[in-house]
């Protein structure tokens, strides 16, 4: 397909996102093709490792291509989004549990669906242009694609902070927060990829000292509040306008659900549990949340003025995260 370049290169399986003009946004077809390629290489002895990268300087992958989900939801066809999210999450889990090394080279924007591709690789490489974020609360969604799993494992209250504000992380912060592993100057990346393909050995990756992590010294104690309202009150008391600005702009329901989900994910033993919880929200998102309005305001009309209308109380959050019964997201190893 035109949006991906999937091939074998010596000892490596190679997956390159090839939609640089669209910031390599991930479509449903791309998610399925990535999973199919990984499944095909799983038992192939000629493929010793997998390299995932992307064309263009601006983005590894700036998120999911959700236009079809939006238009389907507006027309009352909620199955389009449900099928997309289910298949995307199965692809995310395949990367996380892959039995061979997966090396992701993440330049530029790495957001939402991009984190779902690169953030679960066994070897996650970032450079000076890297900007990692989970900004879904700004479009009425929640950090999905295994985002709550990653946020839950960030040190201290970084997970709550990133999930509620959608703040961007440079390379140092991304490594500190557990969204990346290795810093390498981007001028070296092509030579490193060539060496990986030639040797089939992920130990060919050498580590360099990353830039400083600003999050390491930031006081995020306010994000220990039991509710979003308590967090806002603590931030107001501290005069933290930088954090308050996005929180006041984002969907109240999304933030309340995100807070609950990040904290619940801290008890999960494997990422599939977090993904299944995320799917309960996204399965319902086009019918029962602020998602369509958020996408309209931020992506379709781009007026940046969403009119949030969903309730954000505990009852609504519980309803969005309730078991889906026969609609629950199932995993191959659960069958």
Element (H, E) at 34: helix 28-41
Element (H, E) at 49: strand 49-54
End-to-end CA distance of the chain: 31
List C-alpha distances in Å: 279 to 126, 148, 233, 262, 321: 28, 11, 30, 14, 8
Residue 291: count of CB within 10 angstroms of its CB: 28
With contact defined as beta carbons under 8 Å apart, do 137 and 148 qualify? no
Which neighbouring-strand residues pair with 49?
12
27: DSSP letter? P
With contact defined as beta carbons under 8 Å apart, do 142 and 281 qualify? yes
Backbone φ and ψ for 56, nearest 5 degrees, come out as 95, 155
How is the beta sheet containing 109-111 ordered, strand by strand?
59-61, 109-111, 131-133
Residue 191: count of CB within 10 angstroms of its CB: 10
Of 53, 144, 173, 290, which is the active-site residue?
Answer: 144
With contact defined as beta carbons under 8 Å apart, do 116 and 106 qualify? no
Of 13, 72, 73, 113, which is the active-site residue?
Answer: 113
Of 63, 64, 72, 172, which is the active-site residue?
Answer: 64
With H, G, I as helix, E, B as strand and everything else as coil, classify residue 8: strand
Of 53, 65, 136, 160, which is the active-site residue?
Answer: 136
Q: Indicate if 112 belongs to the active site.
A: no
Q: Indicate if 334 belongs to the active site.
A: no
List C-alpha distances in Å: 36 to 129, 270, 315: 30, 22, 39
How is the beta sheet containing 102-106 ordered, strand by strand?
4-9, 12-17, 49-54, 102-106, 123-126, 182-183
Answer positive or negative: Cα dihedral of 164, 17, 78, 307.
positive
Angle at 89 between CA 174 and CA 61, to 5 degrees: 45
Give the residue numbers annotated as catalytic, written as ranges: 64, 113, 136, 144
């Amino acid at each position: 397909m035109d949006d991906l370049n999937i091939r074998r290169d010596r000892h490596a399986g190679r997956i390159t996102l090839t939609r640089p003009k669209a910031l390599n946004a991930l479509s449903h077809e791309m998610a399925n093709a990535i999973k199919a390629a990984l499944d095909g290489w799983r038992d192939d002895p000629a493929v010793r490792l997998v390299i995932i990268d992307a064309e263009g300087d601006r983005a590894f992958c700036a998120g999911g291509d959700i236009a079809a989900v939006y238009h389907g939801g507006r027309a009352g066809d909620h199955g389009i989004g449900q099928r997309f999210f289910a298949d995307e999450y199965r692809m995310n889990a395949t990367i996380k549990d892959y039995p061979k090394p997966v090396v992701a080279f993440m330049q530029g924007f790495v957001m939402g669906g991009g984190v779902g591709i690169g953030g679960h690789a066994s070897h996650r490489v970032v450079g000076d242009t890297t900007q990692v974020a989970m900004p879904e609360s700004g479009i009425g969604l929640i950090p999905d694609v295994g985002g709550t799993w990653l946020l839950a494992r960030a040190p201290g209250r970084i997970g709550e902070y990133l999930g509620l504000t959608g703040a961007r992380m440079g390379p140092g912060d991304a490594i500190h927060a557990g969204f990346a592993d290795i810093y390498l100057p981007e001028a070296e990346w092509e030579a490193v990829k060539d060496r990986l393909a030639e040797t089939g050995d992920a130990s060919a990756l050498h580590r360099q000292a990353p830039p400083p992590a600003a999050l390491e010294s930031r006081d995020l104690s306010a994000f220990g509040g039991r509710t979003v309202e308590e967090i806002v009150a603590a931030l107001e008391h501290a005069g933290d306008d930088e954090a308050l600005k996005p929180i006041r702009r984002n969907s109240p329901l999304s933030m309340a659900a995100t807070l609950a989900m990040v904290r619940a994910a801290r008890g999960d033993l494997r990422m599939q549990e977090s993904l299944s919880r995320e799917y309960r929200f996204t399965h319902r998102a086009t019918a029962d949340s602020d998602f369509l309005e958020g996408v309209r305001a931020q992506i379709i009309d781009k007026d940046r003025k969403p009119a949030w209308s969903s309730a954000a109380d505990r009852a609504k959050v519980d309803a969005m995260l309730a078991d889906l019964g026969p609609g629950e997201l199932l995993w191959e190893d659960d069958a």
